[in-house]
Amino acid sequence: MDLWAFISEEINNGNRVMLITVVSVKGSSPGKKGFKMAVSSGGNIFGSIGGGVMEYKMVELAREKITDVMQPAFLKWQIHDPNAGKDASGLICAGSQLHAFVPLSTPDLQRLQALMSVNSDGVSRYLRLSSGGLELTRDIDLDISDAYEGDGWQYTEEVHPSKTLYIFGGGHISLPLSQIARLTGLRVVVLDDRKNINTMVQNSFAHDIKTIDYSKAAKFITHPQSSFVCIMTAGHGSDQLILEQMLQLPLIYLGMIGSKKKIQKIFSHLESKGFSAEKLLTVDAPMGIPINDELPEEIAVSIAAGLIRVKNKKINE
């Protein structure tokens, strides 16, 4: 379940929800611009705006403001300085972050449904938060400048389809990798050419699980520019078959599991078929960050760490 699905479910269950969004950050602060969490009048919480005592205070404020008569959306600074008075966050990081508190209820369900459909239709939308609440549009000419003064404040962000991790091979590593990848915000799709294998039946973490013909693997990558691919099938022949197809797509990340000897053999074969050495060097193989891993769960952590490094590369540059 993602944030928008959580909010929709809570509203459909008769609860009111306060959406808290970090709309501005100055200096060192645990929350980043765009971080979100939802606080339901039913007592449930989803997401994070940075954690710690500051988050606790903001959750309590949200609960206080979720009243029978919903109040207008408002802004609240949290300053990480013990001398900041009523806006002191309880932290000492020396920075600050500004939160938008936006109440959501039944009239917002249609907009929430549109946000949930971003992944299925592949179309980005602009989300605007203001004193008037939550708005949504596809208008690329929308004024996306932010303002945080007075009643005319507004915050706008583009909501993109979630980046997707395609795991080819539903064996023992795919199960913990699905769980970790989902926790990092990736949409997870597991694909295998075998039916009803135990680890795929047990996989409750993947968003989608398919039994496919590996010779047609490429057609399942619907938006390659926002896709990560991990190849870990039951045999080197199928790994090679899939890798050959994936090398022709503009993926964010492409990795393959295996020994150095196996990878060298597959790469040599692909070079003989016309793939350049430079192109093959773009493949993370053997994939993962070295951590002396042995167990499937440890290997999954190693691979996931490599995915996170790539996923967040532009953020940290």
| Nearest to 29, CA basis, from 46, 48, 2, 45 | 48
Preceding peptide of 250 cis, ω within 30°: no
Quick one: pLDDT at residue 139? 67
Identity of the amino acid at 32:
K
Quick one: pLDDT at residue 11? 96
Strand ranges for the chain from DSSP E: 17-26, 36-40, 45-47, 74-79, 96-104, 125-130, 133-137, 154-159, 164-168, 187-192, 208-211, 227-231, 253-256
CB 146 within 8 A of CB 23: yes
Would you call 295 helix, strand, or coil by DSSP? coil
**Rounded Cα gap, residues 245 and 220, in angstroms:** 11
Quick one: pLDDT at residue 297? 95
Work out the number of other CB atoms within 10 angstroms of the CB of residue 283: 23
Token pair 């705006």 in the structure block, residue: 49
Quick one: pLDDT at residue 316? 42
pLDDT (tens place) for every residue of the chain, 317 residues total:
689 999 999 999 999 999 999 999 999 999 999 999 999 999 999 999 999 999 999 999 999 998 766 678 999 999 998 888 888 888 888 899 999 999 999 999 999 999 988 877 777 888 999 999 999 887 655 555 677 877 789 999 988 888 999 999 999 999 999 999 999 989 999 999 999 899 999 999 999 999 999 999 999 998 899 999 999 999 999 999 999 999 999 999 999 999 999 999 999 999 999 999 999 999 999 999 999 988 999 999 999 999 999 988 854 44
Quick one: pLDDT at residue 196? 86
**Rounded Cα gap, residues 303 and 184, in angstroms:** 13
**Rounded Cα gap, residues 243 and 241, in angstroms:** 6
Separation of first and last alpha carbons in the chain:
30
Rg, the chain, Cα only = 22
Burial 5-38 (b: 16+ CB within 10 A, else e): ebbbbbbeeebbbbbbbbbbbeeebbbeeebbbb
Identity of the amino acid at 218:
A
Phi, psi of 297 (to 5 degrees): -65, -35
Report the greatest alpha carbon distance in the chain: 70
Work out the number of other CB atoms within 10 angstroms of the CB of residue 2: 17
Identity of the amino acid at 281:
L
Give the pairing type, strands 133-137 and 125-130: antiparallel
